[in-house]
Structure formats: structure tokens, C-alpha cells
Homo-oligomer: A and B are copies of this chain.
């Protein structure tokens, strides 16, 4: 089945299903229903059934869902049945915080950090070596990297993205506060903190 037509709204709900199902599993809940999930998650039952139907048949009408099966299915759909190798470019405050975030426990290895500051190169953050950004291309030839975390200043972001594109990187988790332009076969997920903060100020003043 092709997942090409699944809307971003559905896709962005998947991690939330994953999170709540894991919690249910951890607290020993065996079965659940779209109605119960609706109460917990705040989406309507029909919304939840529709979301799951995008990916196949998960439950039996009237019998609800086995939590473990549903959790495993969602995990598979999100792509969490394998581990991912990541690097971080930009060892500033945010990059360093991300190096310490604990991604390993949820299936992500941070293999290396890159920065162009002479004071940072050669040091380690959370046991991960900081390399000179100059050797980025060489590193990427010799290492199999799935995801690049981009936490460089805005002005540097597009240039680094271009270099990543040329090096064959297919996905960027972008923490810089600009939108970067990449070809259609690259995936960008933006964490635009300032946009998020401005959404908050709008809602405060509403």
C-alpha cells in the first residue's frame, strides 16, 4: 500500500498515538477502543478510526484494539523498527543540548558533531567528538548517516544544506530559524522555535 496520499495532519498525529500507546502498554493496559483513545488524546473516535484505516485493518469492529499490536503497527509505520545514525552540525547551546538529549534510548545514534569553532573542534560533548565542519564531506563519504541535525546560525544554514545535498544526505532536522530550500527528494523537518513562541504570543493576546 502506498502511503503517499496520507496528509501531514494524520502523519503528525502518529507520534502522539505512539506516545500514548506506549504509556498504556507500560501501565499494563491490554485492550483499548477508539472511544477510550478519543478521551485520552482529545481527537474524535471517528478521526482515530479514520487515521488507523489509512494504514490497514488494525481492530475488529466492536472489539477494539489490542494495545500491543496497535503500538507495534504504529511503530512500524513511523519507521521505528530500525535504528538511525545522526550527526549534529552546530555545537552551540542548542546543538550541545541536543547532543545530550538522550536520543540513543529511543533508537537514534548521534555519531558525530561538527562545528567550525577552533575552541570546540576536538572536544567531546556527551562523549561525542566535535569535528571540523571542513571535513564534513569526507566524513559523509565514509559513514552511513540517515539524519542530519542542523543547529547552525541562520546565515550558514542554506550553505550547509547545499553541501549535505551534494553529499547525498536525504533528511535534515532543521533547528535553524530559516526555511532551507532543498530538492524534492530530500526531507526537511523544521523546529522553528521562534515561530512557536510567536504562536504562543498570538494565543495569549487573542
Is the CB–CB distance between A204 and B147 below 8 Å?
A: yes
Q: Which residues of B contact A199 (CB under 8 A)?
A: 11-12, 14-15, 189
A contact residues, range: 35 or more
Give the complex CA separation of A147 and B171 in angstroms.
33
In chain B, what residue has the closest Cβ to A197?
B173
Interface presence of A143 (CB below 8 A): no
Task: Tell me how far the C-beta of A195 lies from the nearest C-beta in chain B, rounded to whole angstroms.
Answer: 4
Q: Encode contact with B along A77-100: 1 for CB under 8 Å, 0 otherwise.
A: 111100010000000011011001
Is the CB–CB distance between B79 and A204 below 8 Å?
A: yes
Interface presence of A139 (CB below 8 A): no
Given A14-B198, A198-B14, is A204 in contact with B97 using a C-beta cutoff of 8 Å? no
In chain B, what residue has the closest Cβ to A94?
B97
Give the complex CA separation of A93 and B101 in angstroms.
8
At the interface, is chain A mostly helix, strand, loop or mixed?
Answer: helix
Is the CB–CB distance between B14 and A202 below 8 Å?
A: yes
Q: Encode contact with B along A187-206: 1 for CB under 8 Å, 0 otherwise.
A: 10101111111111111111
Interface presence of A66 (CB below 8 A): no
Q: Which of B94, B97, B189 contacts A200 (CB 8 A)?
A: B189
Q: Which of A12, A178, A200 has the most CB atoms of chain B within a 10 A radius of its CB? A: A200
Q: Which of A173, A189, A197, A203 has the most CB atoms of chain B within a 10 A radius of its CB? A: A197
Is the CB–CB distance between B93 and A206 below 8 Å?
A: no
Where the two chains meet, the residues of A that have a C-beta atom closer than 8 Å to any C-beta of B are: 3-4, 11-12, 14-16, 18-19, 77-80, 84, 93-94, 96-97, 100-101, 103, 106, 108, 146-147, 170-171, 173, 177-179, 187, 189, 191-206
